[in-house]
Amino acid sequence: MFQTTGAKLAYEVEGPDSGPLFVQMHGLTSSAWREHRAGLDVTGQLDGFRVLRFDSRGHGSSTGRAVPEDYLWSQLAEDLLELLDAIAPGEQVHTGGPSMGAATQICAALKDPQRFASLSLLVPPTAWATRSAQTDQYLRSAELVEDHGIGAFVRMGESMLPPPALADRPRERVPAVSQELLPSILRGAAMTDLPSVEDVAQLEVPIQILAWVDDHAHPVSTAEKLNRLHAESQLSIAETPEDLATWPTRVATFVERHRR
């Protein structure tokens, strides 16, 4: 466990004793181990990399506080940078992960761009113009959990169809967070957004963007906007489970190209 302000972060490092480090992130209400089942752990084709997986504060086996501000993407970026200082001091690292994990990568790379050799942004979340509608959904969900418990939140999620790319994946509807923390985590998500378009456009770290269709919480429009902001970025959009299955190979090819 790594102690940071207001939380202890559970983490593990796998792979060879030496070699570059790839950091696998996860999404909101998920955890490191769940990304395997969801098809969003993209480390399977990496060769010669150490892999760091960790649970963001309040998620999985990590601890947290019932403080919404603790779950802003900017705070999660600070957690990532502090963890890297402890585990890989002075190293440039590669990162990848979905949704909240993608947003955390962007925020962290803007704070310390020299830290990152590449970013693999999976299913970037709502941002900028599309963020307000999702904000309202998070606030309603926080109230639902407080008024009716986490079971009501799970039942609401069960009524929503998954994106076509996840059609053959098991559905993980029970959050990997406690009922005590879930309202604060959702309110923190409602309070946060990506940095300004102008700031994100200044990011010079190599970027790969992997999106999928038909997901209102992770619209293709965010991925396309990020791609337009970075002339050298790569964008691939999955429509089927077969498309999703190519992501580990795409990530391995991309990070190998930018391996230091």
- The span from the first CA to the last CA of the chain, in angstroms, equals 28
Q: What letter does residue 128 receive in the DSSP assignment?
A: G
Kind plus residue range of the DSSP H or E element containing 251 = helix 247-257
The CATH code that applies to domain 2-257 is 3.40.50.1820
% the chain with pLDDT above 70: 99
Please, what is the angle between helix 131-148 and helix 182-191, to 10°?
160
What is the gyration radius of the CA atoms in the chain, in angstroms?
17
pTM of the model: 0.95
**What confidence tens digit (pLDDT) does each residue in 125-184 have?**
999 999 999 999 999 999 999 999 999 999 888 878 889 998 888 777 789 999 999 999
Task: Give the side-chain half-sphere CA count within 13 A for 238.
Answer: 25
Identify which of 102, 115, 96 has the alpha carbon closest to the alpha carbon of residue 23: 96
Q: Cβ distance 157 to 217 under 8 Å? A: no
How does residue 200 score in pLDDT terms, banded at 50, 70 and 90? very high
**What confidence tens digit (pLDDT) does each residue in 32-86 have?**
888 877 778 999 999 999 999 999 999 999 999 999 999 999 999 999 999 999 9
